[in-house]
């Protein structure tokens, strides 16, 4: 489960960076908003991973 969180986290970070570059190069607000959504997803995945690590009942 921990590896899955890391893979998702870094993939969302990568997608966010790609869409930031595309949004800035094309001056497109839609691509920048998609980049912000991917960044929010990465933050949520990071927080979920932190919560899973602090769970005393995990296997």
Q: How confident is the model at residue 11 (pLDDT cuts 50, 70, 90)?
A: very high
Q: What is the pLDDT of residue 59?
A: 66
Return the structure tokens found at 43. 């933050």
Question: HSE (CB half, 13 Å, CA atoms) of 3?
Answer: 0
14 vs 56, higher pLDDT: 14
pLDDT of 5 over the 70 cut: yes
Rounded to whole angstroms, how far apart are CA atoms 25 and 19?
10
Q: How do residues 17-44 score in pLDDT, each as one tens digit?
A: 999 999 999 898 999 999 999 999 999 9
Among all chains, which residue has been given the structure tokens 């990071």?
A: 46
């Amino acid at each position: 489960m921990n590896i899955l969180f890391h893979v998702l986290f870094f993939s969302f970070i990568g997608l966010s960076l790609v869409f930031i570059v595309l949004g800035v190069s094309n001056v497109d607000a839609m691509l920048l908003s998609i980049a912000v959504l991917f960044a929010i997803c990465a933050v949520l995945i990071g927080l979920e991973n932190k919560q899973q690590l602090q769970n005393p009942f995990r296997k």
